[in-house]
Amino acid sequence: DAGVTQSPTHLIKTRGQQVTLRCSPKSGHDTVSWYQQALGQGPQFIFQYYEEEERQRGNFPDRFSGHQFPNYSSELNVNALLLGDSALYLCASSLGQGGETQYFGPGTRLLVL
Amino acid sequence: RKEVEQDPGPFNVPEGATVAFNCTYSNSASQSFFWYRQDCRKEPKLLMSVYSSGNEDGRFTAQLNRASQYISLLIRDSKLSDSATYLCVVNRLDGYNKLIFGAGTRLAVHP
């Protein structure tokens, strides 16, 4: 049973660039949530996708956008990268919008120079 | 004020020690509570859910006090392998499943 997978594992970008991160949910799960974890902090909720729509959003600017595909996989896009966007980006999957247990992928570590 | 607050640590304890982590949350609408464990440079993994009646899983005991909006985790007989960051997590379940994390408490167990 495949767990949550994310790609790439590491990424280095420069300020102003754009980045796309990818996530495949755990088999059988249909909901994907994205979190940003800065060094020394807990993960912060970015947004959640269910039925290919963004259902809820945290306190992140419009530079952060996403997409969910019919196979439930998801992408996170960040435009006009800032130094402060350097973080571990985590994807979590669950079953249904109200599914309590979220399973996290290994994350993508983004460094913005 | 952060919605979920934890002792930042680090907690440095010898093997075999008992250690307790505390957590408070500010939103009384919070409905579900969890402890996650995160190893260095890895993803968070669910350690246990927390219920008002308290629950135990081997050496780990979690307690919830809704009136005080307080959550605790007790680890007995600490092992070297318990060294990690422990994240207190709440979920409002307002139709959506949005986890709110504390900043985490780091535990280092030494021989």
pLDDT tens profile A51-100: 999 988 999 999 999 999 999 999 999 999 999 999 999 999 998 766 66
The separation between CA B51 and the C-alpha centre of its own chain, rounded to angstroms, equals 13
The region, left, alpha or beta by phi > 0 then psi within -120 to 50, assigned to residue A30 is alpha
* Residues in B touching A100 (Cβ below 8 Å): 32, 49, 91, 93, 97
Q: Indicate the Cα dihedral angle B69, B70, B71, B73, nearest 10°.
A: 180
Residue B91 φ then ψ, to 5° = -140, 125
Minimal CA–CA distance to A15: which of A63, A65, A64, A84?
A: A84
Structure-block tokens of residue A92: 């979590």
Structure-block tokens of residue B73: 């985790």
Minimal CA–CA distance to B28: which of B2, B55, B3?
A: B3
- Out of A1-5, A97-101, A108-112, give the one with best mean pLDDT: A108-112
Whether residues A92 and B98 touch (CB distance < 8 A) is answered with no
CB-based contact A36:A87 (threshold 8 Å): yes
Measured between CA atoms, how close is B40 to chain A, in angstroms? 11
How far is residue A85 from each of residues A67, A75, B23, measured CA to CA in Å? Answer: 19, 16, 27
CA dist., res. B98 & res. B86, Å (int): 18
Could you say which of A92, A97, A104 has the minimum Cβ distance to residue B96? Answer: A97
Whether residues B46 and A101 touch (CB distance < 8 A) is answered with yes
Could you say which of A43, A56, A101 has the minimum Cβ distance to residue B44? Answer: A43
Chain A contact for B17, CB < 8 A?
Answer: no
Whether residues A94 and B97 touch (CB distance < 8 A) is answered with yes
Cis peptide before B10 (omega within 30 of 0): yes
Whether residues A100 and B93 touch (CB distance < 8 A) is answered with yes
How many inter-chain contacts (A to B, CB under 8 Å) are there? Answer: 61
pLDDT at A39: 92
Minimal CA–CA distance to A42: which of A87, A4, A11?
A: A87
Minimal CA–CA distance to B82: which of B26, B30, B21?
A: B21
Q: What is the full per-residue pLDDT of chain B (111 aa) written as tens digits?
A: 789 999 888 999 999 999 999 999 998 777 889 999 999 989 999 999 998 888 999 999 999 999 999 999 999 999 999 999 999 999 876 666 788 999 999 999 999
Structure-block tokens of residue B2: 């952060």
